[in-house]
Structure 1
Amino acid sequence: MNGPLFTDLAGLDDLRQGAQKHDKKALLETAKQFESIFVRQLLKSMREANAVFEKDSPFNSSSMKFYQDMQDQQLALDMSSKGGLGLAEIIAEQLQPDGKHLMPASALGVNRHFAGSADESAKSLALPAKPGIKPAASAVADTAGSDAPAAKADSEQPQAAPTPAPALDFDSPQSFVGSLLPYARQAASALGVSPQVLVAQAALETGWGQKILKGKDGQSSLNLFNIKAGGQWDGDKVTASTLEYDGGKPKRETAQFRAYQNPAQSFSDYVKLLKESPRYQDALKWVKEPARFLQELQGAGYATDPQYAKKILQVLDHPALSKGTP
């Protein structure tokens, strides 16, 4: 047998020593141990559920149950070591000692329903771009077509110099907040909610920008709220594996998500989703109360994670958001 053995106590001691040295490999192996415990509990529950059928079985003996328990322990360890349920990676991210990793909702399970064009709504939130980078309004014009007449410049009126858009920097929670807060303020103004709430939701969805979904070419989707690509979406898409919750039970699924050219489009899409979808109208009644607003979003099915609202509120308490913002 090439896999680990549940009787390998020396291996557990190696994990302990590796954890003391903050070894990331040891952290992942420890997470696999946690996953194997979870799998073993599932197997135990299955055994107990079938116990009534084994009452008169000739195999119903203490020695047989002893060997079954050994088999279940080894099976659970083998499944976790081979990525059976995919929980080990999630646990390892949450146990990172640097405190910077928050697992995005895309991994924990999301259920988005949204129809419409991000290009149309991005016009209201587009920020002027830095030199050499196409501004959001130009991107909209390129993708929406050239049917609309160009605005005529008034040479008699002085033109204000465009304000450069903030450079995207997601190296830390503080830089994540600084990069997205200008967009969040405009989106929050359209919804009536606090901009910090939107940044906190984006932080949870993307792990402070470290887990933004990417295409096969490695290009970032800039999908800050993990909105899925429905049948009416004709823009760019990325495909990602997600962990959805069905009746409180996690299951692995593959889904397509929208891809944007800039953060303005992502925030615009989110605003349009909430304002135009009937399912979120109750949530918009509570925009002045973040806890209730987020709970209503969760209840309306924005995400399948049963702890979604609670996790966003926890992000709101992060120093990057709670102790003053740029």
Structure 2
Amino acid sequence: MAQDLSAQGRLGFAKLIEQQLGRNMPSGSSFDPASSLAALQQSLIQQHAANSAVLPAGGAERVRSAPAMSNESAVADASGSSSDFVNRIWPHAVEASSAIGVPPQFLVAHSALESAWGKSEIRNVNGSPTYNLFGVKAGRNWHGPSVEVKTTEYVNGVAQTAREKFRVYGSYAESFRDYTNLLRNNPRFSEVLGQKDGAQFSRSLQQSGYATDPMYADKLSRIINGATLRQALAG
């Protein structure tokens, strides 16, 4: 792209490069367009690779990718969508909280991370909701309905795209009950139960293998302690 732009003179690209690089060139140095364009091209490639690496969170066994967020409120707009989301699911979070000993706001935050505050919920092929707020996969032990969607998984720290089947529920209440059963009935989640500290709850989920994204715990902790959740709960 850099070579094409400079060769055709679009936007004065070569001149801009010369001016920019010339600011940092020692006095008496000559400008070499070929080497400068090569350096620019390499920079563009590196930038593209870096941007591509910032991919959504993914799950090792049972979750789809969580939406990528630069901060805890990236997916919550000023229209009150986060408050609407919390109002829809709060009663179910309270019920699940009493079953697993975790504050309901932690469960709201977890569902917000996995569903982008309800904006990126898994959908059936016809567009109808699956009510799957926690990205739970439909493994061999699942005998209910399911839907196949594209997801991002991290394998040895490398993001990979795959198609996986996910559970379909009849309501948010059913989604929370299944999530509760997942945490209570699987021994590997024993450290998650009863957590009262948001950061430790987040770390315990990641350490138990709930998700493979190396930044998963950090993302969840930021939502739990962030202004978006506090404002939504207050509303």
TM-score (norm: length of structure 1): 0.52
Aligned to 1:244: 153
2:61 corresponds to: 112
Instruction: Give yes or no for contact 1:6–1:74 (8 Å, CA) kept in 2.
Output: no
Deviation, 1:271, is 0.3
Counterpart among 175, 197, 200 of residue 292 in structure 1:
200
Per-residue CA deviation, residues 68-122 of structure 1 (Å, 9 max, x unaligned), is: 9579759959xx7xxx99949x77xxxxxxxxxxxxxxx42112349xxxxxxxx
Corresponding position of 2:184: 275
Counterparts of 1:259 and 1:86, CA distance in 2? 32
After TM superposition, what 4+ stretches of structure 1 lie above 3 angstroms from structure 2?
7-11, 65-77, 84-88, 317-320, 323-326
1:290 Cα shift? 2.1
Determine helix, strand or coil for the equivalent of 1:196. helix
Q: Which has the larger radius of gyration?
A: 1
Residue from 89, 109, 117 that aligns with 1:200: 109
TM-score by length of 2: 0.71
What is the distance in 1 between the residues matched to 2:80 and 2:229?
A: 15
For residue 255 of structure 1, give the secondary structure of its aligned residue in structure 2.
strand
Mapped to 1, the partners of 2:151 and 2:38 lie a distance apart of 32
Change beyond 3 A, Cα 1:252–1:325: same
Unpaired runs of at least 5, structure 2: 14-33, 64-78
Q: Which residue of 2 aligns with 1:6?
A: 2
Shift of 1:198: 0.4
Q: Take 2:161 and 2:2, find their aligned partners in 1: how far apart are those partners? A: 26
Distance 1:282 1:220 in 2: 31
Describe the shift of the 1:322–1:254 C-alpha distance in structure 2 as closer, same or farther (beyond 3 A): same
1:191 aligns with 2:140: no
Give 2:143's aligned residue: 234
What number of residue pairs does the alignment pair up? Answer: 195
Aligned to 2:214: 306
Q: Which has the higher contact order (CA 8 A, sep 6+)?
A: 2
**1:1-326 maps to which residues of 2 (within 5 A)?**
5-7=1-3, 8=5, 69=38, 73=42, 76=45, 87=52, 107-113=56-62, 172-284=81-193, 286-323=194-231, 324-325=233-234
Gaps of 5+ in 1: 14-64, 92-106, 115-169
Cα pair distance change 1:86/1:244, threshold 3 Å: farther
* Alpha-carbon distance change, 252 to 178 in structure 1, aligned in 2, over 3 angstroms: same
* CA distance, structure 2, for counterparts of residue 179 and residue 322 of structure 1: 16
1:297 offset after TM fit, Å?
A: 1.1
Mapped to 1, the partners of 2:150 and 2:40 lie a distance apart of 30
Distance 2:80 2:147 in 1: 23
Residue type matched to 1:311 in 2? K
Query: Where does residue 123 of structure 1 map in the other structure?
Result: none
Distance 1:67 1:226, change over 3 A: same
Question: Which one-letter code corresponds to 2:88 in the other structure?
Answer: S
Q: 1:6 Cα shift?
A: 2.7
**2:149/2:165 contact within 8 Å kept:** yes
Change (3 A) 1:113 1:206: closer
Alpha-carbon separation, structure 2, partners of 1:232 and 1:173: 33
State the alpha-carbon separation in 1 of the partners of residues 159 and 81 from structure 2.
30
Shift, 1:171, TM fit: 6.5
Cα distance in 1 for residues equivalent to 2:210 and 2:93: 19
**Does structure 1 conserve the Cα–Cα contact (< 8 Å) formed by 2:183 and 2:190?**
yes
Please report how far the alpha carbon of residue 283 of structure 1 lies from its aligned counterpart in structure 2 after TM superposition: 2.1
Please state whether the residue corresponding to 1:283 is helix, strand or coil.
Answer: coil
CA contact (8 A) 2:198 2:224 kept: no
Alpha carbons 1:183, 1:264 under 8 Å: kept:
yes
Identity %: 34
1:278 alignment partner AA: P
Q: Once the 2 structures are TM-superposed, how far is the Cα of residue 210 of structure 1 from its aligned partner? A: 0.6
